[in-house]
Amino acid sequence: LKKEVIAKKQLQKKLVLGLKVPKEQGRKFQKRLTKRLSPLFPRKVS
Distance separating alpha carbons of residues 43 and 25, to the nearest angstrom:
19
Q: Is residue 17 predicted with pLDDT exceeding 60?
A: yes
Q: Between 43 and 1, whose confidence is greater?
A: 1
What's the Rg (C-alpha) of the chain? 11
| Mean of the per-residue pLDDT values of the chain | 70
Identify the pLDDT of residue 3. Answer: 87
Exposure string of 8-40, with b = 16+ CB inside 10 Å and e = fewer, is: eeeeeebeeebeeeeeeeeeebbeebeeebeee
pTM assigned to the model: 0.32
Q: Which of 30, 34, 10, 9 is nearest to 19 (CA)?
A: 30
Identify the pLDDT of residue 27. Answer: 72
